[in-house]
């Protein structure tokens, strides 16, 4: 067993976890490792239990070190070994949370519980890449090995081109939920703003059904990358990839930008997935421009809903009567679920 303060790499114990303060610090639990006083330790345990999801039982273990007895939660093996390459447990399909504040709390608890892979929280990506450590490769390995995928999908995800998964891609838990939604929902037309891994997931979920799927992309470079990936999966015929530059639009007293919609036929779209433009441009103009292409009661999915810019989008869309907020899906980086009026 590695002692606290030791510079040696910690060894695994029988439970498959690392018995070292180092692992607590890198997971954000350093304050638990330093709790040598009984009163402080009990306070820290109470604080930790209040943050841990109530449905998960917390096993605790105490170990002796040079600094005294260290108490910390036992971590699951798959959260510590091989950086999640063996796959992580699929999240429970939880009901939608009603407010943005509850979304932030739910995602924070989700992160603290260890269900997010470490690779998606890895900082200093550029420096690590220069040192020969590919964060993008680890992102992709965690995405493909996610335990929630059906077997037929997991086997096909091996066709992904190298470094296709980026920091802006859908996280595996919410991508899996998107696959289930499209697979189990009867719809005739789907429109997506922003191509990428979501395009492949939706195309796989469509299968042999006669569903019109239009994907708008503002970057010609990324459009070509997505096209090659769809060809590798042999699903290019299921998607209408459209180059759609960002053009100005007036909404809510502001002059903003949104995808050009000239290539979309009006009406009848059942689902709109909003995963672009990027944060520096903003997504507020997407729904005002796409409203005429959506049927009443259509489902609008806004990714990255935990961010402040997306929260402002949801508020503006609801206040201007474009859609009603159904709630937030507390997976990945949060997804706002709305329905058009």
Beta pairing class for 212-217 and 294-303? unpaired
pTM of this structure: 0.69
Contact 222, 215 (CB under 8 A): no
Q: Which domains does the chain have, with CATH numbers?
A: 21-75 (no CATH), 83-340 (3.40.50.150)
H or E element: which one contains 100?
Answer: helix 100-112
- Output the pLDDT for position 43: 59
Average pLDDT over residues 197-205: 96
Q: What is the mean pLDDT of the chain?
A: 75
Give the pLDDT confidence of 150-163 residue by residue, as tens digits.
Answer: 999 999 998 899 88
Q: What is the pLDDT of residues 71-120, one digit of tens each?
A: 444 433 333 333 333 333 333 334 688 888 888 777 766 655 544 444 33
Closest of 271, 279, 282 to residue 323, by C-alpha = 271
CB 249 within 8 A of CB 283: no
Taking residue 98's Cβ as centre, other Cβ atoms within 10 Å add up to 12
3-state secondary structure of 236: helix
Mean pLDDT along residues 13-27: 40
The answer to whether the CB of 202 falls within 8 A of the CB of 178 is yes
Q: What angle do CA 134, 140, 145 make, to 5 degrees?
A: 130
Give per-residue pLDDT as tens, 111-144: 555 444 443 344 455 555 555 556 677 788 889 9
> Is the separation of the CB atoms in 90 and 41 below 8 Å?
no
Residue 21 confidence class, pLDDT cut points 50, 70, 90: very low
Dihedral sign computed on CA atoms, order 185, 188, 189, 195: positive
Tens-place pLDDT, residues 235-250: 999 999 999 999 999 9
* Of 94, 127, 130, 87, the residue nearest 110 (C-alpha): 94
Q: Two tokens at 297?
A: 């009661």
- For position 174, what pLDDT does the model report? 92
What pLDDT does residue 38 have? 53
Phi, psi (deg, nearest 5) at residue 102: -70, -30
Query: Does 311 score more than 90 pLDDT?
Result: yes
């Amino acid at each position: 067993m590695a002692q606290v303060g030791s510079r040696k790499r910690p060894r695994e114990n029988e439970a498959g976890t690392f018995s070292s303060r180092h692992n607590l610090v890198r997971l954000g639990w350093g304050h638990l490792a330093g709790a040598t006083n009984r009163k402080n330790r009990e306070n820290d345990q109470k604080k930790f239990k209040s943050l841990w999801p109530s449905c998960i039982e917390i096993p605790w273990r105490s170990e002796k070190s040079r600094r005294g007895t260290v108490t910390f939660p036992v971590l699951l093996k798959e959260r510590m070994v091989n950086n999640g390459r063996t796959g992580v447990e699929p999240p429970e399909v939880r009901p939608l949370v009603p407010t943005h504040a509850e979304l932030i709390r739910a995602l924070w608890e989700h992160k603290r519980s260890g269900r997010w892979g470490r690779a998606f929280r890895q900082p200093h990506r550029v420096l690590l890449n220069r040192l020969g450590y590919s964060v993008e490769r680890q992102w992709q390995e965690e995405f493909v090995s996610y335990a929630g995928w059906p077997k037929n999908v997991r086997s096909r995800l091996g066709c992904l081109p190298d470094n296709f998964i980026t920091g802006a891609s859908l996280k595996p838990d919410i991508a899996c939920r998107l696959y289930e939604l499209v697979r189990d929902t009867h719809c005739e037309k789907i429109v997506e703003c922003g191509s990428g891994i979501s395009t492949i997931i939706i195309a796989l979920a469509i299968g042999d059904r006669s569903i019109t799927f239009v994907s708008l992309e503002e970057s010609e470079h990324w459009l070509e990358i997505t096209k090659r990936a769809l060809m590798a999966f042999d699903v290019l015929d299921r998607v209408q990839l459209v180059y759609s530059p960002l053009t100005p639009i007036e909404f809510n007293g502001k002059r903003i930008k949104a995808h050009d919609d000239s290539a979309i036929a009006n009406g009848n779209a059942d689902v709109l997935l909003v995963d672009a433009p990027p944060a520096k441009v903003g997504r507020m103009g997407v729904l005002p421009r796409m409203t005429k292409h959506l049927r009443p009661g259509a489902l609008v999915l806004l990714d990255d809903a935990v961010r402040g810019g997306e929260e402002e989008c949801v508020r503006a869309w609801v206040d201007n009567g474009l859609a009603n907020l159904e709630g937030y899906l507390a997976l990945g980086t949060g997804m706002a679920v709305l329905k058009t009026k």
